[in-house]
Amino acid sequence: MWVFGYGSLMWKADFPYELKIIGHVKGFKRRFWQKSVSHRGTPTKPGRAVTLLSGQEDDRVWGVAYKISESAKEEVRKNLDIREGAYEKFQTMFYPRDSSVDPFNLMLYIGTPDNPNYAGPQDEKVLAKIIKKSVGPSGPNLEYLLNLAQFVRENIPEDKDSHLFLLESLVSQK
């Protein structure tokens, strides 16, 4: 089993895996449009987490694919189902950065617009304020955003996610 991380799973893979590969999925956009009520916010003051939206065929979301062993896959899937909460599981094609590795199918979690914690589009300045102020059991929402931006910058320099980097810039303003 392969699973794709495009948010906190990129820097906080709290499950056993055999291999990790950087690459992308096509036809999606990463957005901070999912309310985080149990990790980076609370039910009364939800933070924001990333989800994927359908995009154009040439849109790419970069992340990390993790290969889970046969012996661990049921336990990992069960724990990810709990961790990802309102997110639904989907299968899609993954394109490794290393072109000598063939594309392959993997599982990913998406917070779809019909789930109760989908926040939908918001002005990035409003999002930045929410992210700066929100805190949940997993820590400050700001930490989530900054860890994601740092991981992408350091490990996936070809990822020019304008939404992510605009939010990073906005939260650093007074």
pLDDT in tens, 117-149: 999 999 999 999 999 999 999 999 999 999 999
Alpha-carbon radius of gyration of the chain:
15
Position 167 confidence tier, pLDDT thresholds 50, 70, 90: very high
Q: Is 21 a residue whose pLDDT tops 80?
A: yes
**Rounded to two decimals, what is the model's pTM?**
0.93
DSSP-based three-state secondary structure for 136: strand
pLDDT confidence bin for 85, thresholds 50/70/90: confident
Which residue in 63, 54, 56 sits closest to 8, CA to CA?
Answer: 63
Side chain identity at residue 111, one-letter code:
G
Tens digit of pLDDT for each residue in 104-117?
Answer: 999 999 999 999 99
The answer to whether 105 and 93 have CB atoms below 8 angstroms apart is yes
| 84 included as an active-site residue | yes
Tokens 């990992």 sit at which residue?
Answer: 76
CA–CA distance, 16 with 28 (Å, rounded to integer): 27
> Looking at 18, 84, 154, 168, which residue is catalytic?
84
In percent, the amount of the chain with pLDDT more than 90 equals 91
What are the angstrom distances between the C-alpha of 69 and each of 5, 60, 81, 133? 16, 27, 17, 39
The distance in angstroms from the start CA to the end CA of the chain is: 44
